[in-house]
Chain A
């Protein structure tokens, strides 16, 4: 029993090592601050640890963690006692190097959730529309429309910033 527990702990530690950055970046994008991002990350990995989840392969693991992170962040954001946090100064603190990157990240984070999800999954994690549709339980055509709408909103917003 003790040996099984140690192996389970070791496997969990390896899983954490593989994925903590991915999960943190997703959580940070949604929560917009370090502390909430850490809380969400911890909740995601607690689910893995206590849920006895078995992954088929690393792709499955990554997809599961991605969706779990997004859903955990959304749950946290729904909590009524949450204070709204302004993202500007917090993004700067995260060492986002160029001004352009800063604006881009800011604007993506400011997108409505449904567009933010698909933009993140497609442009950052490289998932295709069909894969995103499966993960988020939407249709592929909805995902493609949301990607197009998200891009359009970003384009308008970034052009406004450039003209300022």
Chain B
């Protein structure tokens, strides 16, 4: 297409004046020097004392926070939370009585512990428990928050957490009806 060869002439006719050329060049140098001045490594060096101070403050606050924790939010508990006190074979701080919420399903006994969340009792503290016998099985426990309460479901049987979650609704319904 012959017209497109004329295209070259059309583009060549776009001229840059000397004044434009010099102006652009000095702008380039100025922009480049500014870019170097405000580059990330340079900024990091200049700000490092300030950044270090901020980091110390953030660390101090985050380390200090848990001890001042008040009421835990609804999302504070996640599946498979480990109880705060894990009973051992010798641990007999508390015992289940007949009034405790428990049920038996397929030969396995499940216990449900329910605590109100209040300002003074931020979390449901799992009291050590045993079934009173000498033969204490490992505890499997799950906990969750609902309706301003903390629920802990556990069993002395060698149950997997996954299974406990699967059985949860059924057990809770059984125990709270």
Residues of A within 8 A of B (CB): 13, 16, 20-21, 24-25, 28-29, 34, 38, 41-43, 45-46, 49-50, 94-97, 100-102, 104-105, 108, 119-120, 123-124, 151, 154-155, 158
Pairwise interchain contact B6-A100, C-beta atoms closer than 8 A: yes
Pairwise interchain contact B7-A124, C-beta atoms closer than 8 A: yes
Residues of B within 8 A of A (CB): 1, 3-16, 20-21, 23-25, 27-29, 31-32, 35-36
Minimum-distance CB pairs A-B, first 9: A101-B10, A105-B10, A49-B32, A45-B28, A123-B4, A46-B31, A96-B13, A25-B14, A46-B32
List the B side residues contacting A24 at CB < 8 Å.
Answer: 14, 16
List the B side residues contacting A16 at CB < 8 Å.
Answer: 25, 28
Contacts A38-B24, A104-B10 given; indicate if A155 touches B16 (C-beta within 8 A). Answer: no
- Complex alpha-carbon distance, A51 and B24, angstroms: 18
Pairwise interchain contact B4-A94, C-beta atoms closer than 8 A: no
Pairwise interchain contact A21-B16, C-beta atoms closer than 8 A: yes
- Complex alpha-carbon distance, A49 and B24, angstroms: 13
List the A side residues contacting B11 at CB < 8 Å.
Answer: 25, 29, 105, 120, 124
- Complex alpha-carbon distance, A104 and B11, angstroms: 10
List the A side residues contacting B31 at CB < 8 Å.
Answer: 42-43, 46
Contacts A42-B27, A42-B28, A104-B10 given; indicate if A158 touches B35 (C-beta within 8 A). Answer: no
List the B side residues contacting A104 at CB < 8 Å.
Answer: 3-4, 6-7, 10
Pairwise interchain contact B13-A101, C-beta atoms closer than 8 A: yes
